Structure 1
């Protein structure tokens, strides 16, 4: 079952105009008014028949598969609902459906102690989609979901006692089992409407309101604000970040649709892209942003390759009617005001001046910067960048840190080129801190590495036995070119959420933690 948007005033408007169908009205003996739309039946020989027949003594004959699509659109309490049968959901225009309908109904009627599966997405450098299922019903805690970062996309569970539903699955659509018959569809819809308008979910799932993807109408409004912001000298603070994780050492240069093939850019630059099209008298609108591509030329390859849509690479935050909105991964999200304040307040609390760390140079990568820091002050810093250590018992190799200071600072350094590198940075710090505390063999390997490098004073800082966490500070050093806005530059919101996740984990282990922005001049 789908709930159609209020803007749908005619059932035909909810259907894919490119799909043929036949309309049949419900009879008067139905409890609701509605129309069934039946798509064209598709009948054919399965692909496996042709693949196998050439190897069989006798060919398989008269074997066919068939599919049918149907959607029943009914009117109830001033709303249209769509019930799909077979592959009927493909007859619907997805833009006509309310996006969070099924999820809200399910969360308001499911027993929070009898959940079966949960679908979530974590937005950071990549969109990580996860489905977790339990062998038997359980509570949210059994899914080990990071509620601070995960956006809940779908839930399956058993309904509360006394409900007309037995089991519910909710995302955009609602799927449920009930003992009520089709003749009682009006009673079913009555309860569905009540469940959708309920707020019971806030008691057990209130965190889903921290960050929510906006509806199509609000996205269009925000896109309009973005178009205006792009005409400002600094693109209104918006910038480009890779839509995928990339190996920066393999990238020679960037360019954009419409850019001269003889011009190349060493970093992603939204103002540069905008300038290309303003120079042609064609300021880019949203349609152009979604059509135009970021071009990449990789190491040793002469040709440019279209890599991502420009729109997918834009990271921008704006306020509208007192609420924060974030564009990331080509999607708009609304952030709860209190949640936004807590995240940004936490980041501010661990942001400190980068004392002891020198400025860097524009275009300089982390490994060059790290080596220069040690060379300039070898008594203070020991270089551990690109030194990989294997945890006891196996597992992925890790970098203990990039620089170890004589003041017991474990410094992790990344150049800010979008949230992709920041995600890796924050995870590296928390994983290394945990292993430093727990893994005696890892500590011995780090000591040996430092001793071999002639850094005996720094080696002595790594104790054989479990360290006292408060003696050490995990430092996230972010190399960034100053812009026209305040210093230090704010983190993208989802990066700030990620930082809070990893930094609180480090603090819970007992270590001190800070983030320091280093200027690239």
Structure 2
């Protein structure tokens, strides 16, 4: 066999976390060793320990659905019956460089035997960003956290820079495919794993493999990506050792009942009016139902002395549907994944969010804190909007809708847009524009309200303000619906609003409008911008930058509105 035949043009690499061994990354040999034709070999390459696992997988294939569909028109004695055994080879190859293990997989099934918790989840994308730069990009995948989370896939006909791709800082970069700097024969694709594609003389041979692996490891440790890709979040996954110390800080805070330092929330946006929550779903015993989540509730369900990371990970929070009057077993989240906690470890700030600990780059952390302290405008609200009771004793819920209704009844020169059912473009008539529209001396205020419950609801408020702010300045259909809604309202100053809001979208000037963000909090728990979760501060900064610098709105003002709430607890 020639040397060319021993070259490979595509291969994917996974990186084990620091100080892991082969056994920490590969599933137990009890599982892997039971596979057909399993074979293991340990050896060395240039002094580096290596391990090879080989096995074969079999799948019996029978009639596909389309063949059963066609058989309905064929007589029983002539029916087609398909059966075949598909067999394929699979392998895992691992090599250890001092404190790091690189793993590669071959075949369809091999990857399933890698322990995902023992692998770095940013190895591929960080390495690709550092080795490729931002000038020869072929494809990106990103996520925009707007009202509806949007997954954006961009691909160019030829390698281009990030400016041409139109990447926004408001997008989270999830995947990149690009030419390696100075070498168009090599393409790197990065997400959790790094995929190498080499053409011609850049195909990989055994002689080149170890050198490439060391290049990848060196590139992963660099910080070049921070300047090249500002839309890649500045969070570094915590090591297993760091997680152990950080989890201990979390448990200490829970045992000490330092609930002001911990937040609890569902790690996705969920309609507050439709669901309550439960910490259990016992079929034959009563379950406590809570109108909203509070960290202190954990003490009612887990004894203090039994608190541990594993207990938190194995306990679930369930959604209770008011419409169905039952706890939904399929709609649940790990209690650990619902906690948000910020802690300092050896001078580095860390955040627990959605079950993952991550270190925040100090420069990035300081930038956001500087924005909150020095650039963010905060203000009080009108006195008659303070201490409004928003509890609904019939539904056992605290409702934002009650606040909006009461505030507009107390201020009859305001327009209530909550649940307005407006249309944007050719979409459905299910948009709001805002919750309340008010007239200031120098501008019209577009007010968005949301209960201060958790990071998800806060981020939704910021996304809502950005989404509707853009549509107001750009969409004629939306503008027509806004003006029509005002004209039909009972507001005492609707003529003034209509005179201020021009009827043509090209005549709408953002400088004539102020965006107000109202976060409703319980009167017994005063809040300031410093109390917002770090992730929410980050989203606030992005939203503020977009609406103020790009859209040119006059001002973005954050207010904390005290309201009276009731923490309902019922039995199901």
Instruction: Give the CA deviation at 1:459.
Output: 3.6
The partner residue of 1:500 within 515, 525, 541 is 541
Give the corresponding residue for 1:179: 203
Match of 2:358 in 1: 333
Distance 1:166-1:145 versus aligned 2 partners, 3 A rule: same
> What's the CA shift string for 1:119-140, capped at 9, x where partnerless?
4456799976654433432222
8 Å contact from structure 2 (residues 264, 340) kept in 1: yes
C-alpha deviation, 1:394, in angstroms: 5.0
Give the alignment of 1:60-71 within 5 angstroms.
Answer: 63-71=84-92
Q: Which residue of 1 aligns with 2:39?
A: 22
Structure 1 counterpart of 2:450, from 407, 414, 418? 414
After the TM superposition, which of the residue ranges 99-108 and 370-379 deviates more from structure 2? 99-108
The match for 1:405 is 438
Aligned to 2:127: 105
2:484 match? 448
Match of 1:389 among 418, 422, 426: 422
- 1:322-401 matched pairs, under 5 angstroms: 322-348=347-373, 349-356=376-383, 357-361=385-389, 363=391, 364-379=398-413, 381-392=414-425, 394=427, 397-401=430-434
What is the CA distance between 1:317 and its match in structure 2? 2.1
Residues 1:518 and 2:541 aligned together: no
Q: Give 2:570's aligned residue.
A: none
Q: What does residue 522 of structure 2 align with?
A: 481
Counterpart-to-counterpart distance in 2, 1:310 and 1:127:
23
Provide the rounded CA distance (Å) in 2 between the counterparts of 1:122 and 1:98.
23
Q: How much has 1:84 moved relative to structure 2?
A: 2.3
Aligned counterparts of 1:91 and 1:247: Cα–Cα separation in 2: 38
Given that 1:446 and 1:459 are in contact with CA atoms closer than 8 Å, whether structure 2 keeps it comes out as no
Give SS of 1:64's match.
strand
Tell me the distance in 2 between the aligned counterparts of 1:389 and 1:345: 37
Matches within 5 A, 1:35-114: 35-48=50-63, 52=67, 55=71, 57=78, 59=80, 63-76=84-97, 79-86=100-107, 87-114=109-136
Distance 2:455 2:48 in 1: 51
User: For 1:132-147, what aligned pairs fall within 5 Å after superposition?
Assistant: 132-147=154-169
Task: Give unmatched runs, 5+ long, in structure 1.
Answer: none
1:454–1:266 Cα change, 3 Å:
closer
CA deviations over 1:225-277 (Å, ceiling 9, x no partner): 111111233424212212333222222x4221399726432211221122332
Bigger mean CA offset, 139-148 vs 321-330: 139-148
- Offset of residue 209 of structure 1: 6.0
Task: Tell me how far apart the structure 2 counterparts of residues 383 and 209 of structure 1 sit (CA, whole Å).
Answer: 37
Distance 1:72 1:262, change over 3 A: closer
Q: Contact between 2:425 and 2:477, CA under 8 Å: does it hold in 1?
A: yes
Q: What is the TM-score when the length of structure 1 is the normalising length?
A: 0.86
Q: 1:311 to 1:121 in 2, by over 3 A?
A: farther
Q: CA deviation at 1:88?
A: 2.9
Separation in structure 2 between the aligned mates of residue 496 and residue 193 of structure 1, nearest angstrom = 33
The 3 A distance-change label for structure 1 pair 371 and 67 is same
Residue 372 of structure 1 and its aligned partner are, at CA, apart by 0.8
Aligned length: 512
Specify whether residues 125 and 243 from structure 1 end up closer, same or farther in structure 2 by C-alpha distance, changes over 3 A only: farther
CA contact (8 A) 1:255 1:264 kept: yes
Match of 2:259 in 1: 235
Q: Which residue pairs with 1:464 in the alignment? A: 502
Structure 1 position 314, deviation (Å): 1.4
Q: In 2, are the aligned partners of 1:24 and 1:36 still within 8 Å (CA)?
A: yes
Offset from partner CA, 1:480-501 (integer Å, 9 cap, x none): 1156576456222222222222
Q: What does the per-residue CA deviation read over 1:127-161, in whole Å, with 9 as the maximum and x for residues that have no partner? A: 766544334322223443333552x4432111122
Q: Distance in 1 between matches of 2:508 and 2:150?
A: 34
**Cα distance in 2 between the residues matched to 1:376 and 1:115:** 56
Between 1:172-181 and 1:478-487, the stretch displaced more is 478-487
Q: Deviations over 1:165-212 (max 9, x none)?
A: 711122332221233422333333343344334444444236646223
For residues 456 and 534 of structure 2, what CA distance do their matches in structure 1 show?
13
Whole-Å separation in 1 of the counterparts to 2:420 and 2:520: 20
d(CA) in 1 for partners of 2:478, 2:326? 44
Structure 2 CA distance for partners of 1:111 and 1:479, relative to 1, 3 Å = closer
**2:11 paired with 1:3:** no
1:315 aligns with 2:315: no
Q: Which residue of the partner structure matches residue 168 of structure 1?
A: 188
Conservation of the 8 A alpha-carbon contact between 2:280 and 2:288: no
Return the alpha-carbon distance in structure 2 between the equivalents of residues 495 and 78 of structure 1.
36
Give per-residue Cα distances to partners, 1:53-83, cap 9 Å, x unaligned: 7938575667321122212223446644323
> What is the root-mean-square deviation of aligned Cα atoms in Å?
3.2
Unaligned runs of 5+ in 2: 1-12, 392-397, 565-572
2: CA distance, partners of 1:484 / 1:373:
21
C-alpha contact 1:398 1:428 (8 A) present in aligned 2: no
Task: Please say which of residues 127-136 and 69-78 is displaced more in the overlay.
Answer: 127-136
State the distance in 2 between where 1:218 and 1:424 align. Answer: 31
